[in-house]
Amino acid sequence: MSRKNVMLAGLVTAAFTIAVLTFTFRSDGEPKPGQASVPNPSQEKTIKKAALTQDVIATDRLNRVDVSKHLRTMLLETNGKTPEDISAYAKRLQQGHGHITMLMWIDFQTKQTSTFKSSFPEGSDQENKQLLKYLNTAKAAIKGHQAYESPSFIIGNKKYYFTAQRDQQGRYGVIALIHQRILDKVAEHQLKNLRLIPYPKEGKYRVESVHADTLKDLTVKTGHDNENASHYYENEIVVRFKNGHPTAGQLQTIAADIRSKEPRKLGYAYIFRSGKMNYTQLKTYFNDKWHPQYTEPHYMYLTNDAVSENKATVITPNDLLFSAYQWNLPAIETEQGWNLSKGSKDVIVAVVDTGVQANHPDLKGQLLAGYNAITKTSPPDDDVGHGTHVAGIIGALTNNGEGVAGISWYNKILPVKALDNSGAGTTYSVAEGIIWAADKGAKVINLSLGNYADSQFLHDAIKYAYDRDVVIVSAAGNDNTERPGFPAAYPEVLAVAATNATGERASFSNYGEYIDVAAPGESIASTYPDNQYAALSGTSMASPHVAALAGLVRSLNPALTNKEVMAMMTSNAIDLGDPGHDKYYGSGQVDIYRTLQAAAGGEVPLQLFPQRVGRQLNSLRQSLENH
């Protein structure tokens, strides 16, 4: 399938989902502008089924593209090699990708055919006849110098498809039979995560895994680049005051006068962004009222591999699935943000989850040695898929020509397996995982998991990590309820909701006054076990976007405390719904570019300014005493 056809299929799927949502809500009337809709149980089930279907379709597309790329690479790298070399290559490829059930190599010059793992699955006479029909169609296609993909077909109770490629010179061709077990696995995964079936079962108290509590929908377009003038920001100004630094009260006055948020502070100067004045008006305002030492346009002067902000440079990675499938990263201005920070290996992001596939090719070199709180002595391998997916959102290898792009290029991921092979874990295992990660130097912890029991034991573990300056991020849950879920609702935790493709609250996303921010959560493409890729929905997918952002912020400005990082991410979010903080979106959808701009300038939220000054004075006093 060509990229054009793949994207067309995606648009059709999106259109179908929107049509389902429109029809579902029509009977109860349209929500008021800016107001989030809360579907009733019947509507919610219909919408969740549509989301599950969309995730399965998207996963199918992701893996078809990935397999086609592997076949093209095989043709390129084995061109002119001996039959033994080709056989060894095929063996390695199939060992790393168990879903490649059969490989057929054809040399059109010698008319020789080699088949690896040659036994076909056995089905009924009709099923076997259909399999041979698609195989012969694949042979005919590559004989005619055409690539080929068959529809999915059933053999027994398993789903397969054929795909075929031919090299550019036309000498060789390769046909693969692909077992689509991942589609059933994703469907089963989402039945649990979206609460379409009872999960976990009644009985022993468990803390539900984040994939069970977080599958949400989010797409929001932001347009900060539109504020750029040709050589400077037309609605920003750089100001240095004669008497040093303005007081908190003076900053509040300025914010009210020019309609701005807290300024960024760069050395002795402040950068103000106005919601109603252009540069000329700002210059007049400051000169007349504040008599500053100087004012000037906001030209760009950022360090740490920053580029001119006026150019709003977008870094587009070459990862295979990025442009067509990873809508979520542009939605939160990740590409612009990479100009300011791509992360640092010194800032560790822990993923307390179902574990992570250690040898996934798109996570190579990104993972540290982790911990298994379930079996203690075993490595934190992922036997569910949830943790691998979360880890890929945070830190899949970027710009490597493979699979997906992670939000962080360089932050190391610390995998902690606290959830078992059912996707659930005890309070003890989750608490132990949090404490272990904090003790091992994690500066950010992602918790895509939750329950509605307020466990003091778990809260103590959260406080333990928070007191050690860890930023803790958690998914809100996927039950379409206002009932607070934990650990997300603890005050030390940044609670993340999910939004849908239109920038509204995902119908199954939990909500409440404890929600801090929202992030993308609909059909998020990421890494999956068996060296594959899957598209999943949920607040579990939204949360790692925020955890990754925290890692980038702490990499760019290590001096910020966890409280300051959390405040910076919320204060620079894009407001959605009712103005200001609300129970559906919190402060709004996170914005990577805008948040990193603030971090690069050393901005401290106004409410934390006294604490920052106090710490600086204490540090200066200790330095003088030591000398």
The 3 state secondary structure assigned to 274-293 is CCCCCHHHHHHHHHHHCCCC
Helix crossing, 83-96 with 41-77: angle to 10°? 160
Is residue 433 within 8 Å of 450, Cβ to Cβ? no
Instruction: Name beta bridge partners: 372.
Output: 417
Exactly one of 540, 543, 555, 571 is catalytic; name it.
540
The 3 state secondary structure assigned to 159-196 is EEEEEEEECCCCCEEEEEEEECHHHHHHHHHHHHHCCC
Does the active-site annotation cover 545?
A: no
Task: Find, among 218, 293, 222, the residue nearest to 504 by Cα.
Answer: 218
Exactly one of 213, 353, 420, 582 is catalytic; name it.
353
Cα(405)–Cα(396) distance, integer angstroms: 6
Exactly one of 298, 386, 389, 459 is catalytic; name it.
386
- E strand intervals along 529-574: 532-536
Cα(383)–Cα(429) distance, integer angstroms: 16
Sole residue written with tokens 């075929």: 164
Helix (H) or strand (E) holding 562: helix 562-571
Task: Find, among 556, 543, 541, the residue nearest to 593 by Cα.
Answer: 556
Q: Is the torsion defined by CA of 391, 393, 395, 401 positive or negative?
A: positive
Cα(64)–Cα(81) distance, integer angstroms: 26
Task: Write the DSSP assignment of 1-28 as a string of letters.
Answer: --HHHHHHHHHHHHHHHHHHHHHHHHTT
Does the active-site annotation cover 353?
A: yes
Both tokens assigned to 301: 């002067």
Does the active-site annotation cover 540?
A: yes
Strands 412-417 and 348-353: parallel
| Sequence-separated (6 or more) residues with CB below 8 Å from residue 391 | 351, 353, 356, 363, 366, 367, 413, 415, 527, 544
Both tokens assigned to 40: 């009733």
Is residue 393 within 8 Å of 362, Cβ to Cβ? no
Cα(316)–Cα(322) distance, integer angstroms: 8
| Sequence-separated (6 or more) residues with CB below 8 Å from residue 56 | 183, 186, 187, 190
Sole residue written with tokens 């979360």: 390
Residues with a known catalytic role: 353, 386, 540
